[in-house]
């Protein structure tokens, strides 16, 4: 994630300034449209991770092989559907969005290339799910690092050579094919007992997977609406150029979500393994400590984005984006504070197969978000769309999630909120105050000064965290000293 964010940090202003507001807005619309193809996964990736992690822990390799084979067979057909939809979208996109006539041909080719990449990703992504089920996040991350660096190098060369979004899409397709080839090879090598057969699965395995994945599919639909419909609403109601201003603020939020997800994604197979072993105590500890970790990782970033996001965007992308994109960013941060607090809860619900109620609440959040966005965008513009996201997120993440996850792991609600939410937020308060005053009294002339200022203030957060969790920190350090071969 460090490499991904660093590359995005350097590359984003480069791409925006080389393409321009309109072309970058069109590129964002293309990527957002194809992102909806991920819905056709139908929740199968989560099902593979859930069942393979469970069966591998029990050494039921035949059952794990049946699951992977069934998912691959289904995904091959879904890949064909994605290709057909991509062709249809390439024909009609110009009618739905304000795409300049001279860019419509490039947009069509970009949709076809990105859509083909989505088909490849979805088909062979089953092997990435196998690696996740085996807790081989080192191999998954290594592949992502390679893809990120190759993608970035190609992007720089193409844009400096004068190419546009069509060439960027073709390069993206090449990187996707390469990455999936690597993941497939690694999965088959790491799990030699796995026997994959591309044939129609029997009815029993299909029913088992559908019972799990249908609700995961509904959740995925809701996630797509919550996080990716905003750009489409802006593009359809306002303009392609306005998408750029919204996407800059929303993009920083996406990087934050990816950062925390890189931690919490490991909790689904962990929860599944603990459940298979009947270890309720570890599940409760995973919920408390995982939520703490997610909050302590995200809160410093959220505070910087809230109080100094406009300054950062001005130094990073240019002063013309600071006020508008910074305003969008400040609003969206409010939604992420409560959403990220429940990322661990989501991983546990998936791992236990207890995500049916989650699907219903996610659908409510998505519909509320979309309805409010369409209602507020015409009157309040970009900020109206952002506030729609906040309102829907707060209702779901404050009311539903804490009560539900405490119920499925058998943990008192008050204890969970105090141990994870309250103490973590208390640790962040002194740092937030320091960032607030720094933005008003300590002017940053460039990005290097900005980063150094945050680095100077960060020890305030570390000290406050150590004080708020001094007992846990002491226990952790004593445990490290008792481990053979470790020195502290």
Give one word for 348, left, alpha or beta, with left for phi > 0 and alpha for psi -120 to 50. alpha
- In a shared domain, residues 196 and 219: no
Confidence of residue 432 (pLDDT cuts 50, 70, 90): very high
- In a shared domain, residues 197 and 338: no
pLDDT at 437: 93
Confidence of residue 210 (pLDDT cuts 50, 70, 90): low
Reply yes or no on whether the pLDDT at 92 is more than 80. Answer: no
Confidence of residue 486 (pLDDT cuts 50, 70, 90): very low
- In a shared domain, residues 115 and 94: yes
End of a domain among 166, 201, 236? 201
The answer as to whether 488 is a domain residue is no
Tens-place pLDDT, residues 126-173: 888 888 888 788 888 899 899 999 999 999 999 888 888 888 889 989
The answer as to whether 9 is a domain residue is yes
Determine the Cα–Cα distance for residues 218 and 365; give it in Å rounded to an integer.
12
The answer as to whether 169 is a domain residue is yes
The answer as to whether 463 is a domain residue is yes
User: Percent of the chain at pLDDT above 70?
Assistant: 91
The answer as to whether 425 is a domain residue is yes
The answer as to whether 207 is a domain residue is no
- In a shared domain, residues 175 and 68: yes
DSSP 8-class letter at 97: S
- In a shared domain, residues 240 and 383: yes
End of a domain among 173, 201, 229? 201
- Least confident among 79-83, 302-306, 351-355, 479-483: 479-483
Going by C-alpha positions, the residue among 316, 311, 275, 292 that lies closest to residue 435 is: 311
- In a shared domain, residues 149 and 292: no
DSSP structure string for 399-456: IIHHHHHHHHHT--HHHHIIIIIIHHHHHHHHHHHHHHHHHHHS--SSHHHHHHHHHH
Q: What is the pTM of this model?
A: 0.68
Tens-place pLDDT, residues 294-303: 999 899 999 9
End of a domain among 139, 173, 201? 201
User: What average pLDDT does the chain have?
Assistant: 83
- In a shared domain, residues 391 and 254: yes
Average pLDDT over residues 340-358: 83
Tens-place pLDDT, residues 99-133: 777 777 888 888 888 889 888 888 888 888 888 88
Determine the Cα–Cα distance for residues 405 and 394; give it in Å rounded to an integer.
16
Per residue in 26-65, is it b (16+ CB within 10 Å) or e — as a string?
A: bbbbbbbbbbbbbbbbbbbbbbbbbbbbbbbbeeebebbb
- In a shared domain, residues 189 and 217: no
Our CA angle for 384, 439, 301, nearest 5°, is 65
Tens-place pLDDT, residues 222-264: 877 887 788 778 887 887 778 888 888 888 888 888 788 877 7
As for how many domains the chain has, the answer is 2
Two structure tokens written together for 392: 């829907």
Q: What is the torsional sign of CA 26, 29, 31, 34?
A: negative
Going by C-alpha positions, the residue among 242, 229, 240, 233 that lies closest to residue 99 is: 240
Per residue in 415-424, is it b (16+ CB within 10 Å) or e — as a string?
A: ebeebbbebb
- In a shared domain, residues 170 and 217: no
- In a shared domain, residues 296 and 157: no
Reply yes or no on whether the pLDDT at 10 is more than 70. Answer: yes
Confidence of residue 487 (pLDDT cuts 50, 70, 90): very low
**Domain hosting residue 70, numbered range:** 1-201
pLDDT at 33: 76
Reply yes or no on whether the pLDDT at 394 is more than 70. Answer: yes
- In a shared domain, residues 25 and 173: yes
The answer as to whether 487 is a domain residue is no
pLDDT at 488: 35
pLDDT at 260: 83
- In a shared domain, residues 116 and 184: yes
Q: Are 39 and 217 in contact (CB under 8 A)?
A: yes
Which residue would you say has higher pLDDT here, 191 or 100? 191
Confidence of residue 457 (pLDDT cuts 50, 70, 90): very high
pLDDT at 25: 79
The answer as to whether 273 is a domain residue is yes
Which residue would you say has higher pLDDT here, 84 or 197? 84
């Amino acid at each position: 994630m460090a490499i991904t964010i660093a590359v995005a940090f350097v590359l984003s202003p480069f791409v925006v300034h080389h393409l321009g507001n309109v072309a970058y807005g069109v590129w964002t619309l293309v990527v957002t449209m194809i992102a909806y193809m991920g819905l056709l996964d139908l929740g199968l990736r989560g099902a593979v991770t859930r069942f393979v992690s469970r069966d591998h822990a029990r050494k039921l390799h035949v059952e794990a092989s049946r699951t992977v084979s069934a998912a691959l067979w289904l995904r091959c057909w879904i890949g064909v559907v994605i290709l057909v939809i991509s062709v249809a979208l390439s024909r009609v996109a110009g009618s739905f969005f304000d795409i300049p006539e001279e860019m419509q041909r490039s947009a069509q080719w970009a949709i076809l290339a990105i859509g083909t990449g989505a088909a490849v990703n979805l088909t062979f992504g089953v092997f990435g799910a196998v690696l996740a089920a085996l807790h081989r996040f080192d191999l998954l991350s290594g592949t992502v690092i390679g893809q990120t660096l190759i993608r970035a190098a190609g992007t720089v060369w193409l844009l400096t050579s004068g190419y546009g979004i069509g060439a960027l899409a073709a390069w993206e397709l090449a990187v996707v094919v390469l990455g999936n080839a690597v993941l497939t090879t690694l999965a088959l090598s790491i799990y030699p007992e796995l026997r994959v057969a591309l044939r129609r699965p029997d009815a029993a395995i299909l029913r088992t997977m559908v019972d799990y994945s249908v609700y995961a599919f509904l959740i995925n639909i809701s996630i797509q609406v919550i996080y990716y419909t905003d750009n489409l609403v802006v593009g359809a109601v306002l303009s392609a150029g306005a998408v750029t201003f919204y996407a800059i603020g929303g993009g920083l939020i996406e990087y934050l979500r990816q950062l925390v997800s890189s931690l919490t994604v490991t909790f689904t197979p962990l929860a599944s393994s603990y459940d298979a072993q009947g270890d309720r105590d570890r599940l409760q500890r995973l919920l408390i400590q995982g939520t703490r970790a997610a909050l302590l990782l995200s809160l410093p970033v959220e505070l910087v984005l809230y109080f100094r996001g406009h300054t950062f965007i001005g130094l990073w992308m240019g002063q013309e984006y600071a006020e508008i994109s910074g305003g969008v960013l400040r609003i969206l941060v409010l939604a992420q504070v409560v959403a990220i607090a429940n990322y661990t809860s989501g991983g546990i619900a998936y791992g236990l197969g207890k995500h049916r109620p989650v699907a219903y609440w996610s659908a409510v959040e998505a519909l509320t978000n979309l309805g409010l966005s369409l209602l507020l965008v015409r009157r309040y513009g970009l900020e109206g769309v952002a506030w729609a996201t906040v309102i829907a997120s707060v209702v779901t993440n404050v009311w539903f999630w804490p009560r539900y996850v405490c119920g499925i792991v058998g943990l008192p609600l008050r204890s969970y909120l105090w141990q994870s939410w309250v103490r973590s937020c208390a640790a962040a308060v002194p740092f937030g105050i320091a960032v607030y005053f720094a933005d008003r009294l300590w002017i940053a002339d460039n990005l290097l000064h900005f980063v150094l200022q945050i680095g100077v203030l960060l020890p305030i957060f570390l000290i406050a965290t150590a004080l708020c969790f001094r007992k846990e920190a002491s226990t952790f350090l004593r445990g490290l000293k008792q481990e053979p071969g470790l020195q502290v």
